[in-house]
């Protein structure tokens, strides 16, 4: 089957990690008889340099024409002094809103091979895990196209004060909650709404909507937690969580926190999805659905452009490679192929390959510290060796 994938490598380490993910996608295409056609697009700082805009209209238009989008990261010190509306990060907001991807799925699980890279003690992990194992497996569902990042903002005339606004409609809350419930239904059937309802009116609306929506999912346990407590509980007892659903700002912060528990931010993939039925309808009207079912999604590692390590061939490409696996699963329905990538990553870690960020603090016996490209090659080798 033929699929088109928009590649938005972006800035800093973005191009390095996306290049490794593309090699892995190509190997999967060869192995399983698919064709992935790539359309490389500019967004972020590189687009500012070449066009003056973080998200040129042609980039968004071309991305919409593809079946899915794989993004590296945008931003860097070079563009930090630009006014807010011209900064590279505006490209992310524009792509997410333009593609209508409002639910950002950020899985965070501790892989057994990376136990040493997790800063939490075994006994702490065990205490909160219902099966008593020193691990955790949670999913943060972050609302992605509303809230503080999209609300009205500005400065007073004298420049001495500034404001940002958190606004959510019932519809925005309901649709992301339903994404969370769908995810919880195929996991451990627990959903925790994380907010700041003791202070914020918008959070109180989240709770009201959740109280109604939860009635449609009687077999899923719904709980509520304030975000400050959740920040603490994530390091105190991460095993208590299954699915966390939260706002744009809180999800951004909590998922970076969760990434540390998995060993490194270089391990965490993400999928941003919209209303799949609407996406399928769009595809059908453009003739795409005649031969295949695709659901538009935006896939990216949760880390940024890491300017401190850019151009040094030391960035961990696994988050982006795992994002490519999510792309195959959620946008193309290629579950077998997605699992093949995930297994190849696991086998690569089993073989001892580590980028610097996930190296064992104690220096494990079979550990091989490698760079970005070598890690990508190791995943390709593991993929080739699969039966």
Residue ranges in contact with ligand NAD by CB under 6 A: 13, 17, 73-76, 89, 92, 265-266, 300, 303-309, 315-316, 319, 357
Strand ranges, E, within the chain: 2-10, 35-40, 68-73, 103-109, 137-143, 153-155, 162-164, 190-195, 221-226, 243-246, 269-273, 297-301, 353-354, 368-369
Check if 252 is active-site.
yes
- Burial zone of 131 (CB within 10 Å; 0-12 exposed, 13-18 middle, 19+ buried): exposed
Distance CA 332, CA 273 (A): 12
* From 3, 102, 149, 168, active-site residue: 149
Q: Which is nearer to ligand NAD, 253 or 289 (CB)?
A: 253
SS3 364: coil
Minimum CB distance to ligand NAD, residue 242 (Å) = 25
* From 102, 196, 299, 357, active-site residue: 196
Check if 368 is active-site.
no
Minimum CB distance to ligand NAD, residue 24 (Å) = 15
Distance CA 193, CA 141 (A): 10
| Number of residues that this document lists for the chain | 387
Report CA Rg, the chain.
Answer: 20
Q: Which is nearer to ligand NAD, 74 or 269 (CB)?
A: 74
* From 32, 121, 228, 368, active-site residue: 228
- Angle between helical axes of 372-384 and 318-330 (0-180°, round to 10): 50
Minimum CB distance to ligand NAD, residue 115 (Å) = 19
Minimum CB distance to ligand NAD, residue 69 (Å) = 12
* From 11, 252, 275, 347, active-site residue: 252
Q: Which is nearer to ligand NAD, 2 or 312 (CB)?
A: 312
Distance CA 240, CA 268 (A): 19
Minimum CB distance to ligand NAD, residue 114 (Å) = 13
Question: CA 299 from chain center: how many Å?
Answer: 6
Angle (nearest 5°) at CA 386 between 385 and 387: 115
Q: Which is nearer to ligand NAD, 17 or 230 (CB)?
A: 17
SS3 76: coil
206 and 232 in contact (C-beta within 8 Å)?
A: no
Check if 149 is active-site.
yes
Distance CA 251, CA 240 (A): 17
Distance CA 244, CA 251 (A): 9
Q: Which is nearer to ligand NAD, 173 or 380 (CB)?
A: 380
Minimum CB distance to ligand NAD, residue 129 (Å) = 27
* From 189, 224, 226, 256, active-site residue: 256
Q: Which is nearer to ligand NAD, 75 or 274 (CB)?
A: 75
Catalytic residues: 149, 196, 228, 252, 256
């Amino acid at each position: 089957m033929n699929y088109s994938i928009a590649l938005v490598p972006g800035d800093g380490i973005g191009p390095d990690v996306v290049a490794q993910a593309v090699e892995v996608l190509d190997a999967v295409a060869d192995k399983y008889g698919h064709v992935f056609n790539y359309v490389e697009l500019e967004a972020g700082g590189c687009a500012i340099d070449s066009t003056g805009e973080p998200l040129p209209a042609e980039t968004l238009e071309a991305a919409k024409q593809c079946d899915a989008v794989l993004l590296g990261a945008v931003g860097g010190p070079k563009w930090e002094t630009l006014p807010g509306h011209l900064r590279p990060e505006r490209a992310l907001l524009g792509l997410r809103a333009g593609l209508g991807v409002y639910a950002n799925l950020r899985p965070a699980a501790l892989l057994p091979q990376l136990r040493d890279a997790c800063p939490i003690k075994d006994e702490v992990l065990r205490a909160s895990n219902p099966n008593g194992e020193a691990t955790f497996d949670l999913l943060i569902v972050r609302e992605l196209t509303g809230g503080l990042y999209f609300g009205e903002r500005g400065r007073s005339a004298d420049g001495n004060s500034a404001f940002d606004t958190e606004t959510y409609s019932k519809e925005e809350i309901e649709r992301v909650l339903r994404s969370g419930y769908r995810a919880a239904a195929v996991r451990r059937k627990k959903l925790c709404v994380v907010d700041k309802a003791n202070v914020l009116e918008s959070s109180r609306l989240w709770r009201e909507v959740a109280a109604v929506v939860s009635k449609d999912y009687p077999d899923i346990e719904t709980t509520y937690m304030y975000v400050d407590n959740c920040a603490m509980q994530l390091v105190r007892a991460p095993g208590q969580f299954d699915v966390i659903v939260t706002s744009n700002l809180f999800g951004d912060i909590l998922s970076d926190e969760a990434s540390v528990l998995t060993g490194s931010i270089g391990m965490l993939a993400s999928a941003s999805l919209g209303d799949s039925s609407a996406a399928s309808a769009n595809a059908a009207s453009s003739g795409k659905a005649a031969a295949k079912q695709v659901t538009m999604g935006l896939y990216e590692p949760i880390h940024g452009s890491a300017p401190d390590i850019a151009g040094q061939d030391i960035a961990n490409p696994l988050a982006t490679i795992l994002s490519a696996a999510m792309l195959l699963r959620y946008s193309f329905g290629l579950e077998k192929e997605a699992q093949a990538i995930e297994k190849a990553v696991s086998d690569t870690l089993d073989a001892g390959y580590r980028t610097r960020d996930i190296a064992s603090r104690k220096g494990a016996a079979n550990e091989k510290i490698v760079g970005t490209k070598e890690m990508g090659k190791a995943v390709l080798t593991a993929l080739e060796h699969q039966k």
